[in-house]
Amino acid sequence: MARTVTPAVQLDIIKEDPPDNRILECAVSAGADYIVSGDNDLLRLGRYDSIRILNVADFLDLAQGEVPES
C-alpha cells in the first residue's frame, strides 16, 4: 500500500545528511508507524517521535512477531 503525501512539517533532525530529513517529514505527515530503510543515519535514530525506524530484516521479523517493541 502506498500513499502520496506533501509534508506539512519541516524538520532538521539529521545534521549529517539533511536530505534524510525529507523521509522523516513524509513519515510524520503520513502518520507512519514505521520507516524501513538501509540508511545508517536514519537507522541510528531508531525512532522519531512514535515512528520506529528499522532495517528490512528487523521489519520482517516484527511482521512475523519476532521482534519485541522497543
β-partners of residue 34 are 52
Q: Is 8 part of any domain?
A: no
Q: Which amino acid is at 19?
A: P
> Is residue 45 in a domain?
yes
- 11-68 pLDDT, tens digit each: 999 999 999 999 999 999 999 999 999 999 999 999 999 999 999 999 999 999 876 6
> Residue 27 has which C-alpha cell?
513519515
Nearest to 37 by CA among 52, 25, 49, 50: 52
Residue 56: its pLDDT value, please? Answer: 96
- Residue 2 has a pLDDT of 78
Confidence at residue 67, expressed as pLDDT on a 0 to 100 scale: 60
Is 15 part of any domain? no
Is 3 part of any domain? no
In the chain, the number of structural domains is 1
The whole-number pLDDT of residue 69 equals 63
CA neighbours within 13 Å on the CB side: how many for 47?
Answer: 6
pLDDT score recorded for residue 68: 60
Supply the range of the domain harboring residue 28: 20-63
Q: Is there a domain that residue 37 lies in?
A: yes
3-state secondary structure of 19: coil
